[in-house]
Amino acid sequence: MLRGVSARDDGNLGDVTEYKVPPKNPDSSSPLVFEVSAQSVSIPHAESLLHADCEGKEVNCEISLYSSQQAGKGLCHTSWFMATLRLSSGISITLVLRGPRCSSREEEHDATLHPMLRIPMSEEGTVLTTVEFQSSSRNTSLHTHPGRSVTLDCRFALAPSNSLSSLEWRRQHQGSGRHLFQYQVGSTGPAVQPKVHVDMGALLGNGDASLRLEGVSVEDEGTYICLVSTPLHQAQHIIKLHVAVPPRVRLLPAVVSFERDVTTTLTCNIAGYYPLDVSVSWTQKTPEGDVEIPLSNTRFSSHRQSQDGTYSITSYLSISSDTARAPATYSCHVSHVALAEPISVSAHLKAPEQTGSEGLMGGFIATAIFIVVLFIMLRRTAKPKSEQLLKASE
């Protein structure tokens, strides 16, 4: 339960009912209600939290014991809690909460302690806490394409009694990690690194610890961790950066001539995509058919990775004269996360023609007929001349 949260009144707050905790006698199995006061440290994205349910967003709240310190020899503890609020829209808020403490033995004697945590509770059975340190991020997951620049949002605010100690950005991917940015208060300043930038003025002025990446490449994909530290506590945010590259698709040959007793292979080249997952399918469609018929007589090469981190694969379709129907259109369909819709490329199978042995036989027959006809015509032409020679000799 958040109290003292600053939110703009956009006209929709008039019918909001103040939450009141029903009084009860707590035991070890009772649910624990935290009253969080945000008087000295403002809680960001208050409007999103307030209207989350009406806007169709879900809020996930996790609270854990951060640390507990014994106050002298008494029973009361000074307890610190870590609360994390996550909205389904991607907003993440981390709160470091300071729990109540007994300032005197009289208060300790009169305090109602939680049976399990041994911390003072209010008369209504709630744990009264105050926000001492908060950090937030607008995006826990980002998607981008190579060559673009992105900003990984990370901000924080501290109570007046607290101060910044250090800021660190780390990247983890496929089991390995490395430091991208480190700043320690009192040092000469962070080392300059290519592609990575944190505005030091904004960091020290208003708690903007955001990291900007210039010219993102496939190698920059991974999980980024923003770690803000004070002399007493640490809070971190995890932002996942996804890089996607759409594939280039080419189908060869574009036109195929039908030949009997010959198997033709179509080659679909899919290149330059990232991440690895890609879906390839083949279909056939004839002029008489209204739908595309899925084909299964395909095979694939292994995935190949280029120097820029992108992948390529080749798919082959075998067209046999025993099963082929011509004319027909054969299509290679490619689906990938970087594509709004699948890419389809097509090749056309031409109608059969007289080729091969049948063509040769037809040519031979035509030639034989031509020779016979020519022979008959020559013979008829030669006969009158021979008769004229016989008459002349007589």
For residue 329, give the CATH number of its domain.
2.60.40.10
**Among the three residues 135, 167, 197, which one is the final residue of a domain in this structure?**
135
Question: 36-50, 200-214, 309-323, 343-357: lowest mean pLDDT where?
Answer: 343-357
Domain that holds residue 370: 357-383
Evaluate whether residue 392 is within a structural domain: no
29 and 124 inside one domain: yes
CA proximity to 311, closest of 243, 223, 265: 243
Domain count, the chain: 4
CA proximity to 140, closest of 207, 45, 218: 45
pLDDT tens string 162-180:
899 999 999 998 888 889 9
Ranges of beta strands (E only) in 118-173 are 120-121, 126-137, 141-144, 150-152, 155-158, 166-173
**Of residues 130 and 190, more confidently modeled:** 130
111 and 39 inside one domain: yes
Whole-number mean pLDDT of the chain?
83
pLDDT tens string 2-48:
888 877 766 666 666 677 766 666 565 667 888 898 888 888 888 88
Evaluate whether residue 389 is within a structural domain: no
Residue 151: the pLDDT is 96
143 and 193 inside one domain: yes
pLDDT tens string 209-263:
999 999 999 999 999 999 999 998 999 999 999 999 999 999 999 888 877 778 8
76 and 178 inside one domain: no
Evaluate whether residue 229 is within a structural domain: yes
Q: How many residues does the chain have?
A: 394
**Of residues 192 and 280, more confidently modeled:** 280
Evaluate whether residue 74 is within a structural domain: yes
Highest averaged pLDDT of the listed ranges 125-139, 191-205, 300-314: 300-314
125 and 13 inside one domain: yes
Residue 242: the pLDDT is 95
**Among the three residues 218, 243, 268, which one is the final residue of a domain in this structure?**
243
What letter represents residue 141's amino acid?
Answer: S
Average pLDDT over residues 304-312: 94
Place 77 in a pLDDT band, splitting at 50, 70 and 90: low
What letter represents residue 241's amino acid?
Answer: L
7 and 25 inside one domain: yes
Residue 383: the pLDDT is 57
Evaluate whether residue 388 is within a structural domain: no
pLDDT tens string 359-370:
555 555 666 676
Q: How far is it, in rounded angstroms, from Cα 341 to Cα 281?
A: 14
pTM of the model: 0.76
Evaluate whether residue 390 is within a structural domain: no
268 and 211 inside one domain: no
**Among the three residues 135, 157, 190, which one is the final residue of a domain in this structure?**
135
Evaluate whether residue 152 is within a structural domain: yes
CA proximity to 332, closest of 215, 224, 253, 385: 253
10 and 128 inside one domain: yes
Residue 125: the pLDDT is 78
125 and 235 inside one domain: no
97 and 36 inside one domain: yes
Evaluate whether residue 391 is within a structural domain: no
124 and 216 inside one domain: no
310 and 363 inside one domain: no
Question: 119-123, 206-210, 264-268: lowest mean pLDDT where?
Answer: 119-123
